[in-house]
Amino acid sequence: MAAERISPLDSWTQATEMDGGVKGPSPHGEAMLRSYTVARALEYGMAIDDFLRLDARVREGAEWVEVLEHLAEDNLARARLQEQRQRAVPASDFYLLAAACFRLAQAGAEEAPAQRLALYERQAEAFGKGVKSSGLDVQPLEFRFQDARHQGWFVRPDNTDSPAPCVLVWGGADGWCEAFWRSVPSFLACKLSVCLLELPGQGLARLRDGSRLRTDFTQMVSSAMDELAAHGAHPDRFGVFGHSMGGTLAMSAAAADARVKACVNNGGVWQRSTDDKYPRVTQRVGRMLGPEIDVASFYESLDFPKAIRSMPAQLLCVQGGKDLLVSNEQAQQITEFRGAHAASLAYWPDGVHCVYNHAAERNSIVTDWLAQILVGEA
């Protein structure tokens, strides 16, 4: 008698046949694989087996979004099965993996706004279900600014008798809010609360409500700190941690509010390059701003040398030696603007943009540094 055969769930092979054998990746597929390396995909919450399926199928000619939708649906099915079995933790894990697949899918739908919005809404829905059953103290918050709703996810550490210092974490032109969930345990281990936050021009705030990034975004950050304090964060011990262009915006936010005692810039520049070697990056920043504002003019209006010199906060610059978007010279200039008394540089010689390829160690170093400043003084 043959042993029972248990087949893994894979809706792609059940529903799809490649016509004419392997065709090779489409130009769009190639571009997305360049942008979303395995290190970045894992940082944004994907499972390694999902990424390997994505990589193989896109290289065979399948469409980026279609593959990721199938992977997301499979993870949703696994989550529901675990719920039926009353297993909250694995259900949470699969919901979060589904959210990660939708997250990467929407990034590939930049030229299709309605489809992108639908995918991002599904990402947010799956993420919400995942964190609800994660076992962590997670509060979904909504911050209103200029008639747009901006999502936040506030997570507090266990066993804290007094309000914990809080770090606001955000992304840049195309990595937003929920993408940084995997860094949350590092904050909690250091007795820091954390809020994953959508800024103007990001996430559902933009795709659904038309939010645009302007220099007054710092007002929304200050308002968010007010609300976080009302929900249990320490009222005067905040940090900001921005990834990619979000690192640039973190420095502006730190200069605008004295409650920010620590600022982490991971991959942000203080000055845009004039040769624009990476037009897709400029296009993504432009979508945050809308057609009325020129990207270079926006950077100039923020007056970063003055902002960095005047910020009350301590500054940590995170830099990878292989970063194609931020030169070592730019990172060094940022620390020099702040001054040796108030600036530190965490440097990985082989690090890529945002140091995705050393994410675990990067998160550990960053949260240790934040805890020294925020918890040590609390």
pLDDT for residue 256 is more than 90: yes
Instruction: List phi, psi (to 5°) of 291.
Output: -70, -15
Range of the domain at 89: 11-118
- 69 and 202 in a single domain? The answer is no
- 148 and 231 in a single domain? The answer is yes
Q: Compare 30 and 175 and report the one with higher pLDDT.
A: 30
Q: Which amino acid makes up residue 280?
A: R
pLDDT score for 70: 97
- 98 and 175 in a single domain? The answer is no
Question: Which percentage of the chain shows pLDDT scores above 70?
Answer: 96
- Joined tokens for residue 116: 């992108």
pLDDT band at 275 (very low <50, low <70, confident <90, very high): low
pLDDT in tens, 303-360: 888 989 999 999 999 999 999 999 999 999 999 999 999 999 999 999 999 999 999 9
Which residues, including other chains, have CB under 8 Å from residue 193's CB and lie 6 or more apart? 154, 155, 156, 157, 164, 165, 166, 167, 187, 228, 232, 233
Buried b (16+ CB within 10 A) or exposed e, 90-105: ebbbbbbbbbbbbbbb
Domain of 172, CATH number, reads: 3.40.50.1820
54 within a domain of the structure (yes/no): yes
- 268 and 348 in a single domain? The answer is yes
pLDDT score for 3: 77
What mean pLDDT value characterizes the chain?
A: 93
- 179 and 73 in a single domain? The answer is no
Q: Give the dihedral of Cα atoms 287, 288, 292, 296; nearest 10 deg.
A: -100
Q: SS3 of 123, please?
A: helix
Find out whether 96 and 180 touch, Cβ atoms under 8 Å: no
What is d(CA 351, CA 321) in angstroms, rounded to the nearest whole number? 5
Of 24-33, 94-103, 306-315, which one has max mean pLDDT? 94-103
Instruction: List phi, psi (to 5°) of 245.
Output: -60, -25
pLDDT in tens, 112-153: 999 999 999 999 999 999 999 999 999 999 999 999 999 999
pLDDT for residue 61 is more than 70: yes
- 195 and 318 in a single domain? The answer is yes
pLDDT score for 296: 86
Query: Looking at the 3D structure of the chain, how many domains does it have?
Result: 2
- 112 and 184 in a single domain? The answer is no
What is d(CA 313, CA 259) in angstroms, rounded to the nearest whole number? 8
Mean local confidence (pLDDT), 17-38 = 82
Q: Compare 25 and 263 and report the one with higher pLDDT.
A: 263
Q: What pTM, to 2 d.p., does this model score?
A: 0.94
132 within a domain of the structure (yes/no): no
230 within a domain of the structure (yes/no): yes
Find out whether 354 and 243 touch, Cβ atoms under 8 Å: yes
CA quadruple 322, 327, 330, 332: dihedral positive or negative? positive
Q: Which amino acid makes up residue 22?
A: V
Query: Cα 189–195–199 angle (5° rounding)?
Result: 145
CA quadruple 276, 277, 278, 279: dihedral positive or negative? positive
Find out whether 177 and 153 touch, Cβ atoms under 8 Å: yes
pLDDT score for 15: 61
- 109 and 144 in a single domain? The answer is no
123 within a domain of the structure (yes/no): no
- 114 and 155 in a single domain? The answer is no
- 113 and 238 in a single domain? The answer is no
pLDDT score for 378: 43
What is d(CA 75, CA 97) in angstroms, rounded to the nearest whole number? 6
